[in-house]
Homo-oligomer: A and B are copies of this chain.
Amino acid sequence: MTTTPQKPPHNAASPKEAGDIGVATGPIPGSRRIYAECPARGFRVPFREIQLHPSAGEPNLAVYDASGPYTDPAAVIDIAAGLPRPREEWVRARGDVEDYDGRLVKPEDNGHVSAERLVAPFPLHRRPLRARNGAVTQMAYARAGIVTPEMEYVAIRENGLRERVRDIIRDGEDFGASIPDVVTPEFVRDEVARGRAVIPANINHGELEPMAIGRNFLVKINANIGNSAVTSSVADEVDKMVWAIRWGADTVMDLSTGRNIHNIRDWIVRNSPVPIGTVPIYQALEKVGGVAEDLSWEVFRDTLVEQAEQGVDYFTIHAGVRLPFVPLTANRVTGIVSRGGSIMAKWCLAHHRESFLYERFAEICEIMRAYDVTFSLGDGLRPGSIADANDAAQFAELETLGELTQIAWANDCQVMIEGPGHVPMHKIKANMDKQLAACGEAPFYTLGPLTTDIAPGYDHITSAIGAAMIGWFGTAMLCYVTPKEHLGLPNRDDVKTGVITYKIAAHAADLAKGHPLARAWDDALSRARFEFRWQDQFNLALDPDTAMAFHDETLPKEAHKVAHFCSMCGPKFCSMKISQDIRDAARAAERENGMDAMSEAFRAGGGALYRPAPAAE
């Protein structure tokens, strides 16, 4: 991996540098980015190919890849130019959008920062696109029976390169999901049409490599980035986005709440191959000087348009935090833990009025459908402690989100539903069941849940337990939690730890659901492990760097990478080595027949505990 320093975004008004934006480029060790061509459409779909030693006797494994061009050494990375925008052609080819002047960027959009603190705008400015009339959403097309390029792209991605997989094994319990053996573009269309999957794909996000979120596809994960008033910068946030997708984040949310929100977001979206989500109420609050009571529909609407023009693919909107529900939180242990939820609750009580997000929901739909921004209906009243799990406030909001889902769908708007939070294990299934019933099978997108409150510093783990379980039960996307949860803003290392942890949870869920592609990965790694193909084991690991570094802490020499033991047990006690000996002797004896011969073969071969691995290439 290399870090490619980039031309810094410096303030044109001042000769001072804002700092380099360096992002991680180059392949993950042992892997390379490959493509499946789609000749009919003229695009190519990325995968990550994991290299195995020829002695493995099996094809290199290909896995789903979200890392974008950054891991392709043939790609030219120029953060100031942004990624290529092949998707823009697909959008324009539909003939139902127009470009227009767009909204002017105002000082309030960047929090009225002073000139010397203003992050430079992204250098390239384009006129945004919007619908000429009607809806330009993937749902609208799907319902009209159209298989879009986005849907075809998704179908190819979700199928993996299954011709390479020796054994497609479907062994799981999926609680009534409908995961097909093979994903066809028609299947994708149908899932989107019925609202059971979303393809978050703003028409202004031309850099997007389309992906789907839905129960009947691979479980996805989201990583959160974004600055706060206390810390971080545009360089850090762009770097975090690239770092997060490198390790496997399928979408990224920019949750910035500090200065320069608009400009930072431009740099992120223009350089992101994955869908970007935001919570527009944060920026709206900044625009009114942080005074929640001064929020209004007008400020919010303006923010939606501003962000839609930039190409944000999904908005978290807390339209379920309704005035009558707020008192239901009065006796909670941790009140309202959602930033957006607490802001809206404060507004409702200050004005003694119903939430304008709820009342104006149909008008929000008008905007969403004109750009194809997907709703992520926020769980503003989610439980922030074990004590508050599954309470009346939480489920009252969920029922409302179900009601709003129907309105959104009536407008051809794509919808996913956000979920908890902090939930002890025995209450997790009920969350899935209620959401399925209330929200018409719209995709569920949970934060964990955390299964205990007692381990700040380790909440990636307390929540991985709940996330794996709720993913198994049917949740479509898992929002990561880092070790810094409850304690501070995550740094780069925390982002990686959170992503790897959530890839574990998502994959464990795919496996338990019996997803046809899941077992191939576990089996490939276990074969490598059993055959002492150490480098292959490292290459196949979710985090090859760490796997190899941990091994090398005690056995650093190259010869150790073909050793038939590691430092856990040493050469005499390695059970896998002994297993191999048993197996080899058994096969030799079988050829000669008879159990006596078997015993003899063992005694004869028993002395040799170390055999060199096949010669390296």
Interface, chain A (partner B; CB < 8 A) = 171-173, 228-231, 257-258, 282, 285, 290-293, 326-327, 329-330, 333-339, 341-343, 345-346, 349-352, 384-387, 424-426, 451-458, 460-462, 464-465, 468-469, 472, 483-489, 491, 500-501, 503-505, 507-509, 511-514, 519, 521-523, 525-527, 529-530, 537-538, 540-543, 546-547, 549-551, 553-555, 566-576, 578-583, 585-586, 595-596, 598-599, 602-603, 606-607, 609
A501 touches B458 (CB 8 A): yes
Contacts A519-B387, A602-B346; is A504 near B335 (CB within 8 Å)?
A: no
B386 touches A472 (CB 8 A): no
CB distance from A15 to the nearest CB of B (A): 30
CB distance from A508 to the nearest CB of B (A): 4
A596 touches B352 (CB 8 A): yes
B293 touches A603 (CB 8 A): yes
Task: Give the nearest-CB partner of A471 in chain B.
Answer: B425
A575–B526 alpha-carbon span in the complex (Å): 45
Task: Give the nearest-CB partner of A484 in chain B.
Answer: B550
Contacts A487-B547, A555-B230, A572-B285; is A425 near B350 (CB within 8 Å)?
A: no
Q: A230-B554, A425-B512 are in contact. List 10 more A-B contacts (CB 8 A).
A: A172-B426, A291-B606, A333-B530, A346-B581, A451-B468, A452-B504, A457-B547, A458-B500, A461-B504, A483-B550
Contacts A469-B469, A550-B487, A575-B342; is A349 near B570 (CB within 8 Å)?
A: no
A582 touches B335 (CB 8 A): yes
A595–B351 alpha-carbon span in the complex (Å): 10
**Among A173, A456, A547, which residue has the most Cβ atoms of chain B within 10 A?**
A456
Task: Give the nearest-CB partner of A507 in chain B.
Answer: B452
Task: Give the nearest-CB partner of A508 in chain B.
Answer: B451
B567 touches A489 (CB 8 A): yes
A596–B349 alpha-carbon span in the complex (Å): 9
Residues of chain B lying within 8 A (CB to CB) of residue A339:
569, 573-575
CB distance from A269 to the nearest CB of B (A): 22
CB distance from A29 to the nearest CB of B (A): 13
A499–B254 alpha-carbon span in the complex (Å): 34
A554 touches B346 (CB 8 A): no
A349–B584 alpha-carbon span in the complex (Å): 12
Contacts A334-B526, A386-B526, A457-B541; is A569 near B509 (CB within 8 Å)?
A: no
Residues of chain B lying within 8 A (CB to CB) of residue A569:
228, 257, 339
| A522: contacting residue among B336, B453, B538, CB under 8 A | B453
Residues of chain B lying within 8 A (CB to CB) of residue A257:
569-570, 572-573
A489–B576 alpha-carbon span in the complex (Å): 16
B504 touches A462 (CB 8 A): yes
A349 touches B602 (CB 8 A): yes
Contacts A424-B512, A458-B543, A543-B455; is A568 near B489 (CB within 8 Å)?
A: yes
**Among A291, A554, A571, which residue has the most Cβ atoms of chain B within 10 A?**
A554
B452 touches A508 (CB 8 A): yes
Residues of chain B lying within 8 A (CB to CB) of residue A292:
578, 606
Residues of chain B lying within 8 A (CB to CB) of residue A606:
291-293, 346, 350
CB distance from A597 to the nearest CB of B (A): 10
B526 touches A453 (CB 8 A): yes
CB distance from A464 to the nearest CB of B (A): 6
A491–B554 alpha-carbon span in the complex (Å): 10
Residues of chain B lying within 8 A (CB to CB) of residue A330:
583, 586
A37–B576 alpha-carbon span in the complex (Å): 50
**CB-CB nearest 9 A-B residue pairs:** A335-B579, A229-B570, A385-B526, A425-B512, A342-B578, A457-B546, A342-B575, A173-B426, A453-B522
